Amino acid sequence: MSEETIYQRLEKNGVSRRDFLKLCGTLVGAMGLTVPPLESSGLPGHLLTEDQTIRKVAQALESKARIPVIWLEFQDCAGCSEALTRSQSPTLIDLVLNTISVEYHETLTAAAGHQTEENKQSIMKQYAGQYVLVVEGSIPMALGGAYCTIGGRSAIDILEEAAAGAAAIISTGNCAAFGGLPKANPNPTDAKGVWELITDKPVVNIPGCPAIPEVFTGTLAHFVIFGALPELDDLNRPVTFYGKTIHDRCLRRPFYEAGKFANTFDDEGAKQGWCLYKLGCKGPTTHNACATIKWDAGLSFPVQSGHPCLGCSEPDFWDGGGFYQGQSAPLNRPAATAVGAAIGAGAVVGAAMAANNSAQKKRAAQASEE
């Protein structure tokens, strides 16, 4: 079965050639591909058109055996899986989840208990060094990992075992990438993102809360099709999707420049669609594809529908200042007592110095009188 190519499997499932090529087109779009990644295919760049890109993808799917995916969940809410399965790009998601193929998924797998665990063990053996490991949720390190155990084993134990045989790891969602909600101050479980723990394998981060389904699938498809990971930024996020900020692509940007802001959620500015900066928008520092790919098949995204960006694709966004507090405002106000203490200390030291000086002056004056 491992020799069966992706295309053969699709054919068996009743996908026509025509539909297959359409799918390839969708994939090209999903990967945010135009030309660059194909340069490694040896063709001179200027010869590559989108048509040729689609043909390249088709060729890859026709010749490559499918790559199994093992999907682990740790300290998560399953929201990323949920977003994927409820995505409005069904053909694409179906292709990626079923055909390219998720072999083990804690929530989606029908079987349960020791049976699935055994299944996972045998996949890890059979495809050692080839499978893609997807992680959703953060890994707690406190109390020897006791905050999250599955089948009596700690998350870190399970992760290390699965990572050892993986060709690449994809961390989906802010939790797996950067620790997410569980890591929020005071981080009681000492939650960590995968890339802090696994350093000897390529780890791609697809942060978001949840990760945008098309971004996740696009990245996974890229690996499956080209056998390599896309270009990553300094936080290991694919540049294609995370290269620009929300602010860079925001439809409210002209209002930012003009200084027209909504001051509350129901004032005239809000009705006019003005910029949400004063309502706490984190768009200027948030790298993600929401403003272009959007949600629900391109219907809308938070800023478009009137809610400030929370910054969910950035590390520690839960601790990055109040969600409804302007982004330039300090992370928290110094306590009034601290300010009072500082003023008091300054004043006392100043007064003491002054007293000391005048005492000295008096002494000097006395000395000269004598």
Chain residues binding ligand HEM by CB under 6 A are: 328, 330
Out of 3, 200, 257, 369, which residue is the one contacting another protein (CB under 8 A)?
A: 257
Nearer to another protein, 111 or 347 (CB): 347
* Beta carbon nearer to ligand SF4, 202 or 326: 326
Terminus-to-terminus CA distance in the chain, angstroms? 111
Q: Which does 254 bind (CB under 5 to 8 A by kind): another protein, ligand HEM, ligand SF4, none?
A: none
Binding site residues, ligand SF4, CB under 6 A: 76-77, 79-80, 136-137, 173-175, 180-181, 209-210, 246-247, 250, 252-253, 256, 275-277, 281, 283-284, 303, 309
Binding of another protein at residue 259 (CB under 8 A)?
Answer: yes
- Distance, CA of 369 to CA of 356 (rounded, Å): 20
When asked if residue 315 is in the footprint of another protein (CB under 8 A), the reply is yes
Q: Among another protein, ligand HEM, ligand SF4, none, what binds residue 278 when CB lies within 5 to 8 Å by partner kind?
A: another protein
Question: How near is the Cβ of 227 to ligand HEM at its closest, in Å?
Answer: 40
Q: What contacts 336, CB < 8 A, 6 or more positions away?
A: none
* Number of other CB atoms surrounding residue 282 within 10 Å: 24
Q: Of ligand HEM, ligand SF4, another protein, none, which one sits near residue 350, judging by CB under 5 to 8 A according to partner kind? A: another protein
Q: Which is nearer to another protein, 179 or 218 (CB)?
A: 179
Nearer to another protein, 132 or 290 (CB): 290
CB of 96 to ligand HEM, least distance (A): 38
Phi, psi of 136 (to 5 degrees): -125, 125
d(CA 196, CA 139): 10
Which residues, listed in sequence order, are joined to residue 232 by a DSSP beta bridge?
Answer: 238
As a whole number of angstroms, the longest Cα–Cα distance in the chain is 115
In this structure, are strands 191-192 and 139-140 parallel, antiparallel, or unpaired?
antiparallel
Neighbour-count burial of 200, counting CB atoms closer than 10 A to its CB (0-12 exposed, 13-18 middle, 19+ buried):
exposed
Per-residue b or e along 118-128, where b marks 16 or more CB atoms closer than 10 Å to that residue's CB? eebeebbeebe
Total of residues contacting another protein (CB under 8 A):
46
Residue among 273, 281, 238, 216 nearest 79 (CA): 216
Q: Please identify the residue of the shown chain whose CB is closest to the bound ligand HEM.
A: 328
3-class DSSP assignment, residue 35: coil
> Left if phi > 0, otherwise alpha if psi is -120 to 50, otherwise beta: which for 311?
left
Q: Taking the CA of residue 22 as centre, how many other CA atoms within 13 Å lie in the half-sphere pointing to its CB?
A: 8
**Nearest alpha carbon to residue 197 among 177, 220, 222:** 177
Picked from ligand SF4, another protein, ligand HEM, none, the partner binding residue 246 (CB below 5 to 8 A depending on kind) is ligand SF4
Pick from 111, 143, 299, 345: which binds another protein (CB under 8 A)?
345
Of 229 and 276, the one with the shorter C-beta distance to ligand SF4 is 276
235-254 residues in contact with another protein (CB under 8 A) are 235, 245, 247-248
From another protein, ligand SF4, ligand HEM, none, which one binds at residue 345 (CB under 5 to 8 Å depending on kind)?
A: another protein
- Taking CB under 8 A as the criterion, the residue among 7, 131, 261, 301 binding another protein is 261
Q: How far is the CB of 256 from ligand HEM (least distance, A)?
A: 7
**Hey, which residues between 278 and 307 contact another protein (CB under 8 A)?**
278, 284-285
In the set 339, 359, 364, 365, which binds another protein (CB under 8 A)?
339
Helix (H) or strand (E) holding 144, with range, is none
Say how far apart CA 246 and CA 352 lie, in whole Å. 54
Contact residues for another protein, defined by CB under 8 A: 234-235, 245, 247-248, 256-261, 277-278, 284-285, 314-316, 319-321, 325-334, 338-339, 342-347, 349-351, 353-355, 358
